[in-house]
Amino acid sequence: MPSKILLREDEIKYMALFENVTGALAKDCIIDEKANRIIYVVKAGNVGLAIGKGGYNVKLLMRMINKNVEIVEFDEQPTDFIKNALAPARINEVRITVRPDGRKIAVIAVEPKDKGVAIGKDGRTVERIRFLAKRYFEISDVVIS
């Protein structure tokens, strides 16, 4: 896992707003202008607090920043982190293999009925997990099967 992730000034501002609104500790913030969303990675155990009762905190943040808000629970184990990032899709298995050239690949077996959820509209969910897996665990590619 990379020892340091550098945040831009706008990401730090969004993290501060997130923590003030939710009371949850944000570990990271990714601004995805193309998909008009902000992805927050929260410390383990902070997802419920971050979402709020009935999704109140997420809805409030979305109104305040006029962007979609996505929350992912961090985990030190890449397999568990990937499962968290793909929730609510039901995951049967996550295998991480190292290719002969040294690249890491994550192969995710998803319940057939949840494949659409795991991929997401226009591939946004799988795009998010590819980005996060590379950022935190140096995983080159993510394949959903």
Domain ranges, ordered by start, for the chain: 9-73, 78-144
Domain range 9-73, CATH class: alpha beta
Three-state SS for 110?
strand
Which residues face 110 on adjacent strands?
91
Residue 36 CA, chain-centre distance (Å), reads 15
At residue 3, does pLDDT exceed 80?
A: no
Under the banding of pLDDT at 50, 70 and 90, the label for residue 76 is very high
Asked whether this chain's domains 9-73 and 78-144 adopt the same fold, the reply is yes
* Banded pLDDT at 99 (limits 50, 70, 90): very high
Q: What is the mean pLDDT of residues 9-23?
A: 95
Structure confidence at residue 7 as a pLDDT band (50, 70, 90)? confident
- pLDDT category, 2, cuts 50, 70, 90? low
Q: Please state whether 54 falls in left (phi above 0), alpha (psi between -120 and 50) or beta.
A: left
pTM of the model: 0.90
Strand segments, DSSP code E, in the chain are 26-32, 37-42, 68-73, 91-98, 104-110, 139-144
Query: Which DSSP letter does residue 89 get?
Result: S
Residue 23 and residue 10: Cα distance in Å, rounded?
19
Q: Fold for domain 78-144?
A: GMP Synthetase; Chain A, domain 3 (3.30.300)
What are the φ and ψ backbone dihedral angles of 108, each rounded to 5 degrees?
A: -115, 120
